[in-house]
């Protein structure tokens, strides 16, 4: 595969990051400082063997497969229900990790609530559950159309405008890297895109709460120079996004980027997965530790989704 920037390096980078973070999820930063992560281990928080990937990779792969099949929001909602109830697209045939907002939304879907109404839309529903699965949208040919589909499909679980904006930022950031941009231009384009989309909102009550202040830290020139103590690593969508971008900007290779993410503690798997997605893409497949890739559980499910992509292109053709 070489070091070309393509979707496979991003997807593998993401899944390896997820698996690195799973054993440490919810561990506080002080504990991570005392016992830092240095590689792929098993057990810990969720008592899973080494290489086990979680909801982040499962839901991201559901999105990827749905895009390849040109499915709509209903098809994607069905695959989320299958994941939750039957262990579809999982490392070991079962779900061991799920966020509150996503769980509520899937319970709504099971109760036959329509996919555009099943997601949480309160300010407190601004978790990272839609951000964790948005990576594949960056690889569609028509990025504007892709972002519009993403917002519709985000709503299956998350209807918060802030969640949409964070996803738009991440997808544009990835898209710019895919197109050959460097870290600085990825920041620039992602910020410009959020500013452009600023006025596009739904009917959420949070519109009144959502000011530029939310993005002030991420958009500031000195963002990458902020000390670690200024970077939170919680499941709040904005904190997750800040942590991901900060880890990527402050390292110069895949391994250091994802380990930095895990060692922040907190929502380690999601933050390492999203960091691994950008770092895998930027540094290339060969930059990902071979022993980490070979430790990943149930690789055949990942390979079978990736094999459906035209290998001659960087894009998922639609």
Q: Of 17, 269, 275, 279, which one interacts with Mg ion (CB under 5 A)?
A: 269
User: At its nearest, how many Å lie between Mg ion and the CB of residue 141?
Assistant: 29
- Buried residues in 250-261 as b, exposed as e (16+ CB within 10 A): ebeebbebbbbb
**Backbone φ, ψ for residue 87 (5° rounding):** 70, 25
Q: Which is nearer to Mg ion, 65 or 97 (CB)?
A: 97
**Cα gap 178→137, rounded to integer Å:** 12
Question: Which of the ranges 62-70, 94-102, 111-119, 239-247 carries the binding residues for Mg ion, by CB under 5 A?
Answer: 94-102
Site string for Mg ion, 25-54 (x = CB under 5 A): -----------------------------x
Q: Which is nearer to Mg ion, 56 or 65 (CB)?
A: 56
Q: Which is nearer to Mg ion, 27 or 149 (CB)?
A: 27
Contact status, residue 73 vs residue 116, Cβ threshold 8 Å: yes
* CA-to-CA separations, 164 to 77, 169, 224, in angstroms, rounded: 17, 9, 23
User: At its nearest, how many Å lie between Mg ion and the CB of residue 54?
Assistant: 3
Residues 137-176 that bind Mg ion (CB under 5 A): none
Q: Of 55, 65, 153, 204, which one interacts with Mg ion (CB under 5 A)?
A: 55
Q: Give the residue closest to Mg ion by C-beta.
A: 54
Contact status, residue 228 vs residue 264, Cβ threshold 8 Å: yes
**Cα gap 225→238, rounded to integer Å:** 18
* CA-to-CA separations, 293 to 16, 77, 173, 296, in angstroms, rounded: 6, 29, 24, 5
* Number of residues forming the site for Mg ion (CB under 5 A): 5
| Secondary structure of residue 158 in the 3-state scheme | strand
**Cα gap 198→150, rounded to integer Å:** 16
* CA-to-CA separations, 233 to 29, 230, 247, 270, in angstroms, rounded: 9, 10, 11, 10
**Cα gap 264→270, rounded to integer Å:** 12
Q: Is residue 56 within the footprint of Mg ion (CB under 5 A)?
A: yes
Q: Which is nearer to Mg ion, 55 or 153 (CB)?
A: 55
Q: Of 8, 76, 95, 97, which one interacts with Mg ion (CB under 5 A)?
A: 97
Question: Which of the ranges 56-64, 72-80, 81-89, 256-264 carries the binding residues for Mg ion, by CB under 5 A?
Answer: 56-64
Question: Which of the ranges 93-101, 161-169, 172-180, 221-229 carries the binding residues for Mg ion, by CB under 5 A?
Answer: 93-101
**Cα gap 131→33, rounded to integer Å:** 27
Q: Which is nearer to Mg ion, 55 or 65 (CB)?
A: 55
Question: Which of the ranges 145-153, 203-211, 243-251, 263-271 carries the binding residues for Mg ion, by CB under 5 A?
Answer: 263-271
Q: Which is nearer to Mg ion, 19 or 257 (CB)?
A: 19
Q: Which is nearer to Mg ion, 19 or 147 (CB)?
A: 19
Q: Is residue 57 within the footprint of Mg ion (CB under 5 A)?
A: no
Applying CB under 5 A, the residues found at the interface with Mg ion are: 54-56, 97, 269
């Amino acid at each position: 595969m070489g070091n070309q920037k393509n979707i496979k390096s991003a997807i593998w980078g993401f899944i390896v990051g997820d698996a690195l973070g799973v054993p440490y999820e919810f561990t506080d930063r002080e504990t991570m400082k005392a016992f830092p992560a240095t590689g792929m281990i098993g057990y810990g928080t969720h008592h899973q063997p080494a290489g086990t990937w979680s909801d982040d990779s499962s839901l991201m792969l559901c999105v990827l497969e749905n895009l390849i099949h040109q499915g709509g929001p209903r098809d994607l909602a069905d695959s989320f229900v299958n994941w939750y109830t039957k262990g579809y697209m999982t490392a070991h045939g079962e779900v061991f990790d799920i966020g509150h907002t996503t769980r509520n939304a899937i319970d709504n879907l099971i109760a036959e609530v329509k996919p555009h109404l099943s997601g949480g839309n309160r300010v407190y529903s601004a978790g990272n559950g839609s951000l964790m699965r948005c990576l594949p949208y960056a690889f569609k040919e028509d990025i504007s159309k892709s972002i519009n589909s993403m917002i519709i499909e985000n709503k299956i679980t998350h209807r918060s405008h802030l969640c949409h904006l964070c996803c738009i930022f991440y997808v544009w950031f990835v898209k710019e890297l895919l197109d050959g941009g460097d870290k600085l231009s990825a920041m620039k384009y992602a910020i410009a895109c959020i500013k452009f989309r600023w006025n596009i909102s739904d009917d959420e009550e949070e519109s009144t709460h959502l000011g530029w202040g939310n993005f002030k830290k991420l958009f500031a020139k000195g963002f990458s120079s902020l000390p670690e103590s200024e970077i939170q690593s919680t499941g709040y969508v904005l904190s997750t996004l800040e942590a991901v971008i900060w880890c990527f900007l402050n390292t110069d290779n895949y391994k250091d980027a994802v380990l930095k993410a895990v060692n922040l503690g907190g929502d380690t798997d999601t933050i390492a997965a999203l960091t691994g997605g950008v770092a895998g893409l930027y540094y290339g497949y060969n930059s990902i530790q071979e022993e980490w890739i070979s430790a990943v559980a149930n690789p055949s499910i990942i390979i079978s989704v990736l094999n459906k992509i035209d290998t001659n292109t960087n894009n998922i053709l639609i």
